[in-house]
Amino acid sequence: MDGIFIRVEVDPAAAADGELARKLEEACPVDIYAAGAGGVRIVAENLDECVLCELCLDAAPAGAVRVVKLYDNGAALERS
């Protein structure tokens, strides 16, 4: 997709966690995460709004979420 500058990755096991899905939905100021019946859904049309605030990383267990900067050779924001 043109114009997308980040990719968000959620570990598949974590993505199925309804509780985590709600936390991510609440944490992200630009609604990149939505909590659905199956867990976390990434709202693709909002990806360009990411402000790299890292609130999603703070809301998730270590390693569960990565925000990959596609414009920066794939450098990732993540917690280990």
Which residues of this protein are in contact with ligand SF4, per CB under 6 A? 8, 27-30, 32, 50-56, 67
DSSP string for 1-58: -TT--EEEEE-HHHHT-HHHHHHHHHH-TT--EEEETTEEEE-GGGGGG-----HHHH
**In angstroms, what is the minimal distance from the CB of 11 to ligand SF4?**
15
Tokens matching residue 50: 């990411």
**In angstroms, what is the minimal distance from the CB of 2 to ligand SF4?**
19
Minimum CB distance to ligand SF4 smaller for 27 or for 40: 27
Minimum CB distance to ligand SF4 smaller for 18 or for 26: 26
